[in-house]
Structure 1
Amino acid sequence: MEALLLRVVPGLSEEWQGATPDEIERIEQLAGRPLPPFYRWFLSRMGKSMGKLTYPGLDFSASRVLTCYAEKRITPEPRFLFIAYNSDETMPLHVFYDLEAPARADALVTWGDTWGNVLHEGFETLREMLAWGAVLSFRVGKMPQQCEGIITGEPVGFLSRFDSVMSRLGFTQPVPTGPYCRLYERPDAAMVCSSPSAATFKGGQAFTLGGVDEGALRRILGEIATEPSLEVEVDEWMPELG
């Protein structure tokens, strides 16, 4: 994960700042159990500043987490650990860990209100949430041509078939991901995908694909569409095609 972020985000190592060991230990005390190892890594690297990875309107800092608990803005809940404050004034959905849904030395990321009511699930891990955002912003978003759409297919074995096609096309997966999303990279193109929650997953991934030109993207999507059990629908090109 660290190698991915340092590779795709220019100057990140000079910008990110970690939380203090004391702050990390205090958050663990609030959790009432050992923190997911990935969250400890995240706090040690970006618990004070995420640099260019900062999410608009979301504050993941250790100081914000501790302040919100201290000021009782967040209702403590044994299962859900508050990890990011949403400053949106209309509908501020904050970010929580579901500590009872561990995955790959990490845990399920959910969105909820200040009373701890979880409204929906987001990513199976914080690791893939951060990686998804980084690849979207600094790989896909920097490509000359992009497109969005959805890839669908028979639910049983959908992701394994999708992974197999992308591997044949020379794409690698920079970090492990679960059923909520996929990340694919190769030198001339990158793709991020997202799906409904695991509970409602029906064999589909919404995608944003970026590449060097329209032709490259059409060739990639055409190869995916040749898989008998996969269908590709493109909804938008950015910039618009002439």
Structure 2
Amino acid sequence: MSSPQTNRMEQLISAIARYHPSFHTEIEGCSPEEIERLQALVGQPLPEPYVEFLRVMGRRMGGMSFQDGDFRIETLIRHYSSEEADRDSPPAIGISRYGPYGNSREIYERPIELSQDEDSGEFALTTYPPAERPHEFPESIRVFDLVDPTLYEALFAKAYLQYRWPQFKHQRTLFFDAHSPEEVERGAAILEQLGFERHPESTVVVRYFDRQDATAIISPNPGEPVRLSLAAHDAVQLHHLADELSRRLPPVPASK
């Protein structure tokens, strides 16, 4: 009998394949023996979402790597086989390699960890490396780093921005005023009234919306107005859509 995490990872793969049909052939999971070896080296239980990730793409994850991370199981086995591995910290699920301020000649390594929230029980990416390189993600999703996403959410965010967003040539960013989840939800309802379908992988933090000719993302902008990113095939259509949304969404108050 499959676990909820197994079903969720299968759902994730199906969602990605909707926009990138060959995704199934670009990933490769680990064997039970490899996972058992890593588990023994870590010395503490591996989070179930991570075990499911290893089963489906622990050897190869196609173009889904994020945060300059190396998530291959052999990399984690080498990491935990070394004397420098910190076994008192939450389990590392990847090793980020990055140069400070874009300096490619000086590379640092930092574990990407998955830590369990005491209240919700969710496992979140809490030891995140520096923000994504600007050319990889539009501004709408870079702020995702600030909200401690789950591994599942981070993978879908990467997939959506890598495989769905580029299908649209024209893009625009709007802002609207909202101070509670309920107010953000009212903004989301306006998109649905305009024919957008809320993607099932949406969360209470980042909401994805699709229709045949356009896509939209409502994402957090901590301490700032809510960001609504739009993309469409046609520039005139995008202009009309943005005008309609600007008319119906709560405006951002003018700064004093």
Instruction: Give the alignment's TM-score, normalised by structure 1.
Output: 0.75
Q: Which amino acid aligns with 1:57?
A: D
**Large movers: runs of 4+ above 6 Å:** none
Partners of 1:41 and 1:66 lie apart in 2 by 17
> Which residue of structure 2 aligns with residue 77 of structure 1?
88
Instruction: Pick from 49, 63, 81 the counterpart of residue 60 of structure 2.
Output: 49
Decide which structure has greater helix share.
2
Change (3 A) 1:101 1:62: farther
CA distance in 1, matches of 2:16, 2:202: 14
Q: Distance in 2 between matches of 1:101 and 1:58?
A: 26
Deviation at 1:207, TM superposition (A): 4.3
Per the alignment, residue 240 of structure 1 pairs with none
Partner amino acid, structure 2, of 1:174: P
Root-mean-square deviation (Å) = 2.9
Q: 1:63 and 2:74 equivalent?
A: yes
Structure-2 separation of matches of 1:76 and 1:121: 25
Is 1:12 equivalent to 2:23 in the alignment? yes
Question: 1:26, CA displacement in angstroms?
Answer: 4.1
Q: Deviations over 1:153-202 (max 9, x none)?
A: 131223212221222222322304132x2222222112334325xxxx44
By how many angstroms is 1:46 displaced?
Answer: 0.8
Q: Write the distance in 1 (CA, Å) between the matches of 2:211 and 2:24.
A: 23
Q: In structure 2, what is the Cα distance between the partners aligned to 1:230 and 1:92?
A: 43
The correspondence for 1:168, drawn from 193, 199, 223, is 193
Match of 1:152 among 133, 158, 176: 176
Alignment map for 1:44-193 (pairs within 5 Å): 44-55=55-66, 57-78=68-89, 80-90=90-100, 92-100=109-117, 106-112=122-128, 121-147=146-172, 149-156=173-180, 157-169=182-194, 170-179=196-205, 181-193=206-218
- Could you give the per-residue CA deviations for residues 2-51 of structure 1, whole angstroms, max 9, x where no partner exists? 21111112411111000121233344452723523x32322111101011
Letter in 2 for 1:154: A
Residue 223 (structure 1) aligned with residue 248 (structure 2): no
Mark the CA change 1:88 to 1:31 in structure 2 (over 3 Å): closer, same or farther. Answer: same
Compared with structure 1, are the counterparts of its residues 188 and 18 closer, same or farther at alpha carbon in structure 2 (3 Å cutoff)? same
Q: Whole-Å Cα distance in 2 between the matches of residues 163 and 56 of structure 1?
A: 28
State how far apart, in whole Å, the 1-side matches of 2:170 and 2:92 are. Answer: 37
3-state SS in 2 of match to 1:32: coil
The structure with higher relative contact order (CA 8 Å, sep 6+) is: 1
The alignment partner of 1:52 has SS state of coil
1:136 and 1:192 in contact (8 A); partners too:
no
Contact 2:188 / 2:218 at 8 angstroms: preserved in 1? no
Note if contact 1:86-1:92 (Cα within 8 Å) is conserved in structure 2.
yes
Structure 1, unpaired ranges of 5+: 114-119, 233-242
Q: C-alpha distance in 2, partners of 1:102/1:67?
A: 33
Q: How much does 1:88 deviate?
A: 1.2
How far did 1:221 drift?
2.4
The 1-side partners of 2:46 and 2:109 are apart by 27
Q: Evaluate the alpha carbon distance shift between residue 121 and residue 26 of structure 1 in structure 2; reply closer, same or farther with a 3 A threshold.
A: farther
CA displacement, residues 36-92 of structure 1 (integer Å, 9 cap, x when unaligned) = 3x32322111101011323473111222122212214442234x2211111213355
Q: Which structure has the highest strand share of the two?
A: 1
